[in-house]
Structure 1
Amino acid sequence: MEIMTNQRFRKAGKYLRALFIISLIGLALSILAGAGVLIYAKILGPPPLAVPQSTLFYADDGTVIGESDNGQKRYWVELDQISPHLVDATISIEDRKFYSHHGFDYKRIAGAVIADIKAMAKVQGASTISQQYARNLFLAHEKTWKRKLLEAFYTIRLEMNYTKNEILEGYLNTIYYGHGAYGAEAASQYFFGKKAGDLTLGEAAMLAGVPKGASIYSPFNSLENAKGRQKLILRTMVATDKINKQEADQALNEQLTFVGKHLHTKTKIAPYFQDAVRHVLKTELNLDDRIIELGGLKVYTTIDTKQQEIAEQTVGRSIAKESEIQIGLVAMDPKTGYVKAMVGGRNYEESPFNRAVQAVRQPGSTIKPLLYYAALEKGFTPSTVMRSEQTTFRFDDERPDYSPKNFNSQYANGDITMAQALALSDNIFAVKTHLFLGENTLIETAKKFGLTTKMANVPSLALGTSGVRVIEMANAYSILANGGKKVSPIVIKRVENHQGDIIYEHNKEAVPILQPELAYVMSQMMTGIFDPKLNGYTSVTGSTVINDMTRAYAGKSGTTDTDSWMIGFSPELVSAVWTGYDKGKNITSSADKSYAKKIWVHFMEDALKGKPAKGFKAPKGTVGVYINPLNGKLATANCPIQRFTYFVTGTEPTEYCTDHLLYQEEKPEKKEKKPKKPWYKKLFNW
């Protein structure tokens, strides 16, 4: 019996030693595995904290004009921009030991396991803020062992590489508060209509209770449940010494006002412009679509909301509702290139095609200022004369004959000046100038003025038969308005990422590309379309809108069979308007042809209303003289019409007009007779 007992003890000892050794091996392996996990986590480094965030688009005055998101309203704010009450309330109810543990609250986990075993169901959670943040960032919310293991691993990586405040900031910016609001800022705006940093204790305690289950604890779903949850959180805050009982009672009795409305719900301001901004972000800043839409960017644009509203209203009331005419409008500051207003069509919902930046249409006579600037460079002046009459141009290189016509087949049948030819939009003068300069001259000049579309090397190019874009024509005219300095159309001033770092800022300055004195002479010539003194065989092309003008403008209109244009500027604003049919259908109605001019003048007048009327400042190297606009010679007192005209110094006319001398001889002026001196004065003189 004794022998058998000893044998049993020996066998038991063997088992115990084996179990001990196995346990040691298991412990060693566990330690090695744990160390391996930690080393691997350290090698991987910090996990990215990128989460979908709303990208906001701002106008030039700082107001939000648009928002891009995927249905998740989220605006990242720093921890110090969140109310301390919300921070304390969240920690108190979600993770009291947040600042003391390393990602896992083991005592809480054990308590949750025991509670679940007793209830034979999942009744109590034990996830820390770090674990919840890891799950929100990287994982789906399915309840599987794989997800739990990955959650633990990401939690370790977060704790190893980020500070507690960074984790807490991230958590408060990613947690879901219901109603499409992600993060404290979006939730605060939705529930209470205020910034997260302005939340009171009562509001913070109410908001901190929602993530437990928005469908249950949101005050919009059940105010009773929400108040109960708020009361629990306030008691917890008292227990953790965040507040005292008196403060808790005051917060519980605080009268709360709920808003239930997301910030920036109106995101359709200037939709065509916003599309243009997105295009620049993608093509010029090389940002991908996901970053643009969900990267939490702050895009500060150039749009002027007042001018944009004026543009849209002007278009809306000017074009008949039943008309199929479309429009492209761009307004720019010629000094900076900042686009202030953009209309790409009459209805964005029906057609998002942006005619202001995408459509390529024939500019008609609006190309002539570029042609005549090139002529000024070659020695032409506003007084240069050529004959205006029906003309057929024949060429030696076997090209077909070309017979351009003036509007309504009207001609001077005599000499006219370049200034008058521009004001009357004489096509014969333009084609003669184009051929005299060489057909390639206008092509190169167009490139200099920033036109990127291909120009055909043909005689009709002088009449605007090669297509252009509205925004490029606005930019071309802005160079003249800016004294010969070139700017590019700018829609974005600055872009910040979700952390507030500036990733792009416009800082390009205007570049002189034209001779300033020639640019000024050209601008002054362009005021002629609004000056009846230049009327000739027909009226100046801007005569229909002169009565609507209260200040000086320079500009040019243009028409083709399918397109109607008006482009013009004051010293501080340039705008270009195109109207026509999308499919290139001929514009037959005179009313349809008048839309561009009417929209342009009403937009300019309303946009500049209340601002002092600025004149065009003459640069050095220019001189102004009075000329007879019919022949370009210096005007005399006998000329019935005199117009003050600018020239480059040294190119002004020196010959006086003699057309009215005969009139003077036939009706000589009566000389005043001097009164006879009294006899006594004569005696005195003697």
Structure 2
Amino acid sequence: MGKGKYNLGSKLLLKLIVWLVAVFLLGAGAIYLTSFLLGPPDLQMDQNTILYSTNEEVIGEERGPEYRQWVELSEMSEEIIAATLLTEDQNFYNHHGFDLKRIMGAIVKDIKTWSLKEGASTLTQQYARNLYLTHEKSLTRKIKEAFYTVRLEMFYSKEDILEGYLNSIYYGHGAYGIEAASNYFFNKPATDLTVAEAAMLAGIPKGPTYYSPLNDEERARNRQKQILTNLLDKGIIDQKSFDSALRQELIYAKNSPNSQEKTAPHFQDTVIKEAAELLGRKQKEVRAGGYSIYTTLNTKQQKLLEQQVEKTVQPETELEIGALAVDPSTGGITAMLGGRDYNQSPFNRTTSAKRMPGSSFKPFLYYAALENGYTPNTMLMSKPTSFELADGNVYQPSNFNGYYANEPITLAQAIALSDNVYAVKTNMYLGPERLVDAAKEFGITSKLPAVPSLALGTATVNVKEMVTAYGMLANGGHELQGHTIEKIVDREGKTVYKHKTKKGKQKLDQKTAFLLTQLMTGMFDRELDGYMSVTGSSVSDQLSRIYAGKSGTTNSDSWMIGYSPSLVTGVWAGYDDNRPMEKVAESAYTKQIWAGFMEAAHEELPVENFTAPSGVVGIPIDPVTGLRATPYCESSRVMYFEKGTEPEGYCTEHYQKEDKDEEKSMVEQLFNLFR
């Protein structure tokens, strides 16, 4: 009877074992079949996006939630690879994703403790978890992990898995992957790690906080010694290397990406925003997309701009600066300063702030005037003037400090001296709608009211659109799109975007653009001094080349925008809260910054002059009368006219004065003879 019960029990146990084996085999088969049908899983994970300057120098790294720098297996030191395998998965090259011996041991411990705490994960399982899952300890997560592990082993090589693991594992302090960890802890790439450094890093992933040498160096050193001992026992290093590694003093850099000084941070933000628009992706996806973005930034010009601002602006003031430099032949932004201190305020005052440009808006008006019959010697009266508007109101603009010529002045002088009455008269003559249209031709997209005061820059615009608009004058009237990106390469090395470098469409009349440019050089020419000095007189002595430009000032804003054929730069200054600039020096900052930067930037640029197109003639003109100059004129300036519009008459005013002076001198001599 007892024997029968024993046989029955044995049969039941055997059936149970067979049933369990069958279930296991069916389950395993189902997992493998499903894994095969699902195909290879996507290995892509967040990677830092790298930004490069024009000379392909790294200017910054943008990242998503995880700080990671991807490197190939061949770019890692042999020591870190060996130490990692020995520490995390000694049988990595011998299993197919699961280490059955370790699993059985873990199961026994879990049964004893009635928990799921014991781990037996292979390197492949850890990689699957890092890629697709959380670190939650649950049966559901383990089943999902098994599926991903099988798929990884089924479709990828051991080298692919090992490379991915070493680029994804967390080393603490925000560093994901061996390259980020190597840079963070030792300020060096993973390929240059010593045996001691590799052993230290290999011990961290098991407990990134617990084994961090920055949190407890003694504990981390003990784990490092254990790993070095394992390397010695396995014959991976010899006794000499072991002893040397133990003696090596490790110096920690703590090179956190968040603490590094960024190059042109406002520019980098603009690059990411532009890249997101070009690629049709969110900014956070671009930051973590592993792209290589080749930008238009000239690091030398960027440094010069920052130095000039720091040199010019008093450190204690709350006054802000927005400055932008653009290559007028391409539209590439070569330097950008969105504010004086990015850490204090990441707000970009060159692209996001809308401010009144003052008289720097006048070139758009005078372009329209030249297109409608004005010439450089067109004369209008400069005196206090009231304008009665259609609604019955009276508008009375005033000149700076209430200065007026109280006589007719030429367009050349009106621009050089920034005469407001001349500008408003011109705007009223053309019609304010024509000025709005002209500004749009220059690429101004901000909303502009068609009112008389628009001639004096009372609408709000941003620095970028103003600088690129001036760039169209610098390049002879071609359409210009300010941009920061030349090329984008994805993580696979494929170029996904390349900026077209062809010249933009001819938007402005070439002759008119040249005539206006020549008139705008007058702000630095003391020959055009009249009832007051030319507006660029404070910096004209600093300039070694011919530049064209225009300044603008309101109660709360100061602007200076100017250009050569090679570079156009705009500088704005003001307070973020629009308070008035009460100190005279504050309004002068923009010209000083502009002049200092342009001179320094042009030291490495070829000397170029503005080239007159066919159909334009240059004639010496007396600035006061607007007629052809004679040897008797006190001053003269070569002015350019569209052929057929140049003045025919010669200045006689100074000749008559000279003649009268000679007659008076002769009378005095005769009188003296008979005294």
> 1:159 is matched by which residue type in structure 2?
E
Cα–Cα, structure 1 residues 246 and 353, in superposed 2: closer, same or farther, change >3 Å?
closer
Compared CA separation, residues 435 and 33, structure 1 to 2 (3 A):
same
Corresponding residue for residue 234 of structure 1: 231
Match of 2:615 in 1: 621
The count of corresponding residues between Structure 1 and Structure 2 is 658
Q: 1:139 aligns with which of 133, 143, 148?
A: 133
Determine whether 1:485 maps to 2:482: no
In structure 1, distance between residues paired with 2:282 and 2:52: 20
Which of 557, 561, 565 is 1:567 aligned to? Answer: 561
Quick check: 1:335 aligned with 2:332?
no
Tell me which moved more, 53-62 or 333-342.
53-62
What runs of 5+ residues in structure 2 fail to find an aligned partner? 664-675
Q: Secondary structure at the match of 1:211?
A: coil
CA distance in 2, matches of 1:316, 1:252: 47
Q: Relative to structure 2, which stretch is displaced further, 454-463 or 107-116?
A: 107-116
Cα separation, 1, equivalents of 2:498 and 2:642: 38
Q: Does 1:535 align with 2:529?
A: yes
* Structure having the higher Rg: 1
- Hey, what's the Cα distance between the residues in 2 that align with 1:470 and 1:329? 7
**Displacement, 1:163?**
2.6
**Does 1:189 find its partner at 2:183?**
yes
Partner of 1:272: 266
Report the residue type matching 1:656 in the other structure.
Y
Amino acid at match of 2:30: G
Give the aligned partner of residue 644 of structure 1: 638
Structure 1 stretch displaced more, 425-434 or 140-149: 140-149
588, 596, 601: which one aligns with 2:590 = 596
1:157-168 residue pairs with structure 2 within 5 A?
A: 157-168=151-162
- Letter of the 2:48 partner, please give it: S
- Partners in 2 of 1:399 and 1:66 — Cα distance? 58
- 2:46 touches 2:289 (CA, 8 Å); kept in 1? yes
Tell whether the 8 Å contact from 2:383 to 2:404 is kept in structure 1 after alignment: yes
Structure 2 CA distance for partners of 1:259 and 1:26, relative to 1, 3 Å: closer
CA, structure 1 residues 578+487, in 2 after alignment: closer, same or farther (shift >3 Å)?
same
Cα distance in 2 for residues equivalent to 1:43 and 1:620 = 71
CA positional deviation for 1:359: 1.5
Residue 503 of structure 1, aligned match among 496, 505, 509: 496
State the secondary structure of the residue aligned to 1:485. Answer: coil
Aligned partner of 1:400 in structure 2 is 393
| Alpha carbons 2:229, 2:242 under 8 Å: kept | no
CA distance in 1, matches of 2:73, 2:465: 45
Q: CA deviation at 1:526?
A: 0.6
Contact 1:89 1:237 in 2 (8 A): no
What is aligned with 2:423?
A: 430
Match of 1:676 in 2: none
Measure how far apart 1:611 and its partner are.
4.8
Question: Normalising by structure 2, what TM-score?
Answer: 0.87
Whether the aligned pair in 1 keeps the contact of 2:116 and 2:137 (CA below 8 Å) is: no
User: Which letter maps to 2:532?
Assistant: T
Amino acid of the structure 2 residue aligned with 1:428: V
Are the equivalent residues in 1 in contact too, given 2:511–2:615 (CA < 8 A)? yes
Matched with 1:448 is 441
Shift of 1:186: 1.4
Counterpart contact for 1:416–1:630, Cα < 8 Å: yes
Alignment of 1:94 with 2:91, yes or no, is no
Structure 1 residue 13 displacement after superposition: 7.6
Counterpart mapping for 1:90-489 below 5 A: 90-110=84-104, 126-200=120-194, 203-214=197-208, 221-222=217-218, 224-235=221-232, 237-238=234-235, 243=236, 245=238, 252=245, 255=248, 258-262=251-255, 264=257, 265-395=259-389, 397-489=390-482
CA distance change for structure 1 residues 413 and 306 in 2, over 3 Å: closer, same or farther? Answer: same
Question: CA 1:522/1:431 → structure 2, altered by over 3 Å: closer, same or farther?
Answer: same
The question of whether the paired residues in 2 share the 8 Å contact of 1:136 and 1:174 is answered with: yes
Could you tell me whether the CA contact under 8 Å between 1:76 and 1:498 is conserved in 2? Answer: no
Residue type of the alignment partner of 1:629 = P
Do 1:368 and 1:463's aligned partners in 2 also have CA atoms closer than 8 Å? yes
Q: TM-score, structure 1 length as denominator?
A: 0.86
1:519 pairs with 2:516: no
CA RMSD of aligned residues (A): 3.3
Give secondary structure in 2 for the equivalent of 1:626: strand
**Equivalents in 1 of 2:522, 2:93: separation in Å?**
76
Task: Note the C-alpha offset of 1:17.
Answer: 7.0
Is the partner of 1:341 in helix, strand or coil? strand
Shift of 1:534: 0.7
Q: Does the Cα contact within 8 Å between 2:87 and 2:227 map onto a contact in 1?
A: no
Alpha-carbon shift at residue 458 of structure 1 (Å): 1.0
Q: Given the superposition, is the C-alpha separation of residues 124 and 362 from structure 1 closer, same or farther in structure 2, using an over 3 Å criterion?
A: closer
Question: C-alpha deviations, 1:226-261, integer Å up to 9, x for none?
Answer: 5423423423552xxxx5747855875785653433
Check conservation: 2:225, 2:246, Cα contact below 8 A.
no
Residues 134, 355 of structure 1: CA spacing in aligned structure 2 closer, same or farther, 3 A cutoff?
Answer: same
In the alignment, the residues of structure 1 paired with residue 252 and residue 644 of structure 2 have an alpha-carbon distance, to the nearest angstrom, of: 71
Which sits farther off after the overlay, 108-117 or 613-622?
Answer: 108-117
Residues of 2 paired with 1:40 and 1:427: CA distance?
A: 79
2:39–2:155 Cα contact (<8 Å) kept: yes
Once residues 667 and 561 of structure 1 are traced to their aligned partners in structure 2, the CA distance between those partners, rounded to angstroms, is: 46
* Aligned CA distance change for structure 1 residues 252 and 584 (closer, same or farther; 3 Å): closer
User: What is the one-letter code of the residue matched to 1:225?
Assistant: N
> What CA distance in whole angstroms lies between the structure 2 residues aligned with 1:399 and 1:49?
72
* Aligned-pair CA distance for 1:474: 0.9
Residue deviations 1:482-519 (CA, integer Å, cap 9, x gap):
22222212123333444444333323433122222322
Aligned 8 A contact 2:566 2:605 in 1: no
Determine if contact 1:303/1:341 at 8 Å carries over to the other structure.
yes
**Structure 1 residue 112 displacement after superposition:** 5.5
- Taking a change above 3 Å as real, the CA distance of residues 195 and 364 of structure 1, as seen in their structure-2 partners, is same
- Rounded to whole Å, the distance in 1 between the matches of 2:230 and 2:438 is 72
**Cα deviation digits, residues 452-484 of structure 1 (max 9, x gap):** 111111111111111111111111111111222
The CA distance in 2 between the partners of 1:224 and 1:30, in whole Å, is 43
Cα offset for 1:423? 0.5
SS for the counterpart of 1:447 is helix
Judge conservation of contact 2:117–2:137 (CA < 8 Å) in 1: no
Task: Pick closer, same or farther for the CA change 1:38–1:317 going to 2, 3 Å.
Answer: same
Question: What is the DSSP-based 3-state SS (H/G/I as helix, E as strand, rest coil) of the residue aligned with 2:67?
Answer: coil
Separation of aligned partners in 1, 2:108 and 2:8: 35
Offset of 1:198 from its aligned partner?
3.2
Whether the 8 Å CA contact 2:232–2:239 is kept in 1: the answer is no
Task: Trace 1:577-592 onto structure 2 (pairs within 5 A).
Answer: 577-592=571-586
Aligned counterparts of 1:361 and 1:490: Cα–Cα separation in 2: 21
Tell me the distance in 1 between the aligned counterparts of 2:242 and 2:583: 75
Conservation of the 8 A alpha-carbon contact between 2:197 and 2:250: no
Secondary structure of 2:68's counterpart equals coil
Aligned-residue offset at 1:59: 3.5
